[in-house]
Amino acid sequence: MGGSYFTIKPEPDDIDCVFLVEASAAESAINESAAVIGAFASGKSVRRGLGLELDTFILPWAPDATTGMSHPFVRDYYRTRGYWDDLWSKMRSGSKGATPVKLDSHPRRGYLEVILDGYPEIGPFYAD
C-alpha cells in the first residue's frame, strides 16, 4: 500500500493498493467473480465505481523456488513487483506535475505491506 494518505500531505488524495494474488487462485476467481476481480485489477475503477479514494491493482504471483528468471511469467512478476517497489520508495520534491529533479529518483520513503492470509503451505509468520 502506498499513496498520499501515507505522507504528511495536509489533503491526501488516495491510497494505492496492489494485491499480490497467487495466479491459480486469481484465475479460478475470475470465472466466479469476473466483475469484482476486473474492478480491483484496473486502477481507478474502484475509485470511480464506489467513490473511494482507493486505486487498486492485482499482481499475479506464482510460487517459484528458483532464483532465476527462466520463465516469462516469472520475469514479468519481478519486473512489475520492482516497478511498484521503486515507485513507492520515491517521493516528489515539488508539486504533482512538476518537472522531476534528481532528488526524486532516490529512495526516500517506504510502503506498507499487509499479509492477509500468509502462505498456507508454511503456516503463520510467527513462532509458537
Distance, CA of 67 to CA of 74 (rounded, Å): 10
7 is written with which cell numbers?
A: 505522507
Q: Which residues contact 88 (CB under 8 A, 6 or more apart)?
A: 2, 16, 109, 110, 111
Residue 81 has pLDDT above 70, yes or no: yes
Per domain, the residue ranges of the chain are 4-105
Percent of the chain residues past pLDDT 70, beyond the cut: 73
pLDDT in tens, 68-80: 777 788 888 889 9
Spatial CA neighbour of 38 closest among 23, 52, 58: 58
Whole-Å CA distances, 49 to 9, 38, 66, 79: 25, 12, 40, 29
Contact between 60 and 77 under an 8 Å Cβ cutoff? The reply is: yes
Q: Does 40 or 10 have the greater pLDDT score?
A: 10
Task: Report the greatest alpha carbon distance in the chain.
Answer: 51
